[in-house]
Amino acid sequence: MEYLQIHIVISEELYTKNPESSELGKKIVSRSIEMIDELGFEAFTFKKLGKSIGSNESSIYRYFESKHMLLVYLLCWYWSWIEYKLVFATTNIQSKEEKLSAAVDILTRKVDVDNSFSYIDEVILNRIIIAESSKAYHTKDIDTENEKGYYTVYKRVVQRVSNMVTELNPDFEFPHMLVSTVIEGAHQQRYFSEHLPSLTNVKKGKDTIVKFYTDLVFKVIK
Amino acid sequence: MEYLQIHIVISEELYTKNPESSELGKKIVSRSIEMIDELGFEAFTFKKLGKSIGSNESSIYRYFESKHMLLVYLLCWYWSWIEYKLVFATTNIQSKEEKLSAAVDILTRKVDVDNSFSYIDEVILNRIIIAESSKAYHTKDIDTENEKGYYTVYKRVVQRVSNMVTELNPDFEFPHMLVSTVIEGAHQQRYFSEHLPSLTNVKKGKDTIVKFYTDLVFKVIK
DNA sequence: CAAATATAATAGTAATACTATCAAAAACTA
DNA sequence: TAGTTTTTGATAGTATTACTATTATATTTG
């Protein structure tokens, strides 16, 4: 991808102190990504993170209210990044079909190159999204948090791709359902292919998941 | 549904002492379903459950190794019940289309009548599956647990419906992906419709979700 | 009625998810 | 450069969780 001097801005609601404002903050974010991937979200703690980065548990709490809020921050970062990639990859495409196809590709493809967005490893972050993101919104606080706008970026991504669907077929009644089914489905299929392979038909080498969901989208909206 | 003297049998691996073997065991299961629904899985504890049923925390541990294992038990019970409904609703249907259609209906429809399977409220259990089931298999132990057969019933349900897909179109390459996408997608859409409605296009009154996934299945396998 | 089994009560442990306080260090500022 | 503010670190402490272990008391069964 083209190298650009761009910067992902995260809503102030998601942190107590902006982790981008200091070296420690960035270290917290980048190491937390690695540790959540290694340990899983449940076994990951601020104490372990502090120890690992040579800092103190209490210092981490100055950036993030809780490990749940850190996870929400990471999701928001991820979806902002996807939104950027999505807009970048689809503007100036004339053909509506090609445009939607490019969008579905971005939503379903595995991230396997770290575009080195500063201190965040997008390959590992993608794995976290696949394995842990459902834990962020499957809580009893979902409604309050949704009102506070924690999931705005994700919803905007769904809206953008839904618009592409509607452009192609204005009569299609369920664009949001289709798009969120594809996004969440692709993540689940990636998880299943590694851990519960009999729930999938993933073939080695090829990216079956991208193919499956691309076909699905075009067949469903016809 | 027809009243039958049937009984759902759960693999011995999933409990320490069979909860069906005593009144206390059944109370543990039925009250845990209500409490997980009320409190959410995170806030639910064996201590609270014990207090609520007038029993002791330590007694509950004699039935289930951990609250995680109790959740796995509930999932297994749910999928066994769905499998029973599935087989019941699809045998003797001649038309392959109708058969698949009936299956998709069972997988995607909201459970809104408690068939009073003894001490288990299927309506509440269905809500738990929608809101909490992903927490059961999104853990670091998934591979070990899968080897132990904890998810066999779920996989068998997917297999059964995949077979119906294959009967209709033997050339379709991704029956398992399609079926697991539909099952998980329908659950997510129900959750979204309540908590993140802008990710869906659910209309009041009608069961949009059943319609959406039924259409999707037949379009995709064509 | 005795023996076996199930349950309850109590205590205890290590870890978690924080909060509070205070001192030390670093950064910025007059 | 000294002084002030801000940031970080160290330590301690709390309530709760997710258990385990032990012993006493019911309850069931033969």
For range A83-93, the mean pLDDT: 94
pLDDT for res B204: 76
Cβ neighbours of residue B117 under 8 Å, at least 6 residues apart? B8, B81
Give whole-number Cα distances, A181 to A142, B91, B213, in Å.
19, 29, 10
Encode pLDDT of B64-108 as tens digits: 999 999 999 999 999 999 999 999 999 999 999 999 999 999 999
CA–CA dist A203, B203 (Å, integer):
37
Decide if A192 contacts A171 (C-beta within 8 A).
no
CA/C1' separation B63–D22 (Å): 19
pLDDT at B54 over 70: yes
Q: What is the dihedral of CA A46, A49, A50, A51, to 10 degrees?
A: 130
Task: Report how far Cα A80 is from the mean position of its chain's Cα atoms.
Answer: 8
The two structure tokens encoding residue B97: 């289309």
Beta bridge partners of B117: B120
**CB-based contact B40 A139, cutoff 8 Å:** yes
pLDDT in the model for residue B4: 59
Nearest CA in chain A to B134: A134
* Interatomic CA–C1' length for residue B48 and nucleotide C9, angstroms: 16
User: pLDDT digit string (tens) for B130-151?
Assistant: 999 999 999 999 999 999 999 9
Which one of A173, A199, A219 has the shortest CB-CB distance to B176?
Answer: A199
pLDDT digits (tens, 9 = 90+) for B4-39: 567 899 999 999 999 999 999 999 999 999 999 999
pLDDT in tens, A33-58: 999 999 999 999 999 999 999 999 99
| pLDDT at B115 (0 to 100) | 76
Statement: the CB of B26 is under 7 Å from strand C: no
In this complex, do B195 and A146 lie within 8 Å of one another by their Cβ atoms? yes
Is the C-beta of residue B55 closer than 7 Å to nucleic acid chain D?
no
Residue B113 has what pLDDT?
83
B51 pLDDT band, cuts 50/70/90, is very high
Q: Do B135 and A135 touch (CB under 8 A)?
A: yes
The pLDDT assigned to A5 comes to: 66
Instruction: For residue B108, give the amino acid letter.
Output: T
Cα separation of A134 and B63, whole Å?
29
- pLDDT value at position B5? 65
Mean pLDDT confidence for A164-178: 98
Residue to substitute from B128, B134, B138, interface A, most A β-carbons within 10 A: B138
To 5 degrees, how large is the angle CA A88–CA A90–CA A94?
A: 135
Q: How confident is the model at residue A92 (pLDDT cuts 50, 70, 90)?
A: very high
B190-217 pLDDT tens trace:
999 999 999 999 987 679 999 999 999 9
- A-chain CB neighbours of B160 within 8 Å are none
B24-CA/D30-C1' distance, Å: 23
State percent of chain A over pLDDT 70.
97
Cβ separation of B216 and A220 shorter than 8 Å?
yes
* Bridge partners (DSSP) listed for residue B120: B117
> Among residues B126, B153, B120, B124, which one has the least CA distance to residue B137?
B153
Contact, B108 vs B214, CB < 8 A? yes
Instruction: Give the residue among B212, B45, B115, B136 at the shortest CA–CA distance from A191.
Output: B136
Q: Taking the CA atoms of A134, A140, A145 and A147 in sequence, report the sign of the dihedral they define.
A: positive
